[in-house]
Copies of this chain bind each other. A is one copy, B any other.
Amino acid sequence: MVLMTETDQLHEMVGGRLARSGQRYTDGRRDLVDALADQDGPLSMAAILERVPGMPQSSAYRHLTVLASCGVVHRIAGADDVGFFELTDELSGRHHHHVLCGECGSVGDIESSDDLEDALARAARITASRTGYAIDAHRIDLVGTCPDCLSSGAAPVRAG
């Protein structure tokens, strides 16, 4: 292979992970991965179906289950617990967190910072020693109102 694009590399990694789980990397799964990779943030099921025309919802869910089981995708819960899906940190190559809009339920990605990660690591250590949990991950969501909802006047009423 003389030339290898980022997307090719991604597909190679995904194929590898699927193969290791004894699964095949079929067109449907590839399309799904493409849709997620083309995106900056997590996609809802509705958004996935729009971006992968002709894919039945049940197949999309099934693919996502398979891909999740080999660490390719990841489900996150939006403000109203609707599912959003995205490539895992390992595949996207960046550790990140999420911002949720409490108005429209949309979800976006945000970068993490060393500052925050360090504080989290300390919190995890403390929690482990106090509770006996073995901590191996964290999730952070900032919750607020997205620019769109802010400008469309649907500003939330804050307690006061």
Contact = CB atoms under 8 A, between A and B. Distances in A.
Given A119-B115, A119-B119, A122-B116, A110 B131 contact: yes
Nearest to A117: B119
Contacts of A110: 123, 127, 130-131
Contacts of A147: 131-133
B131 A135 contact: no
Interface residues of A, number: 45
B146 A142 contact: no
Given A116-B120, A119-B119, A133 B99 contact: yes
A109 B124 CA distance: 13
A51 to B, nearest CB: 22
Contacts of A143: 135-139
A101 interface: yes
A81 interface: yes
A104 B9 CA distance: 36
9 smallest CB-CB distances across A and B, nearest first, come from: A132-B147, A119-B119, A135-B144, A137-B143, A116-B119, A133-B144, A134-B145, A134-B144, A116-B123
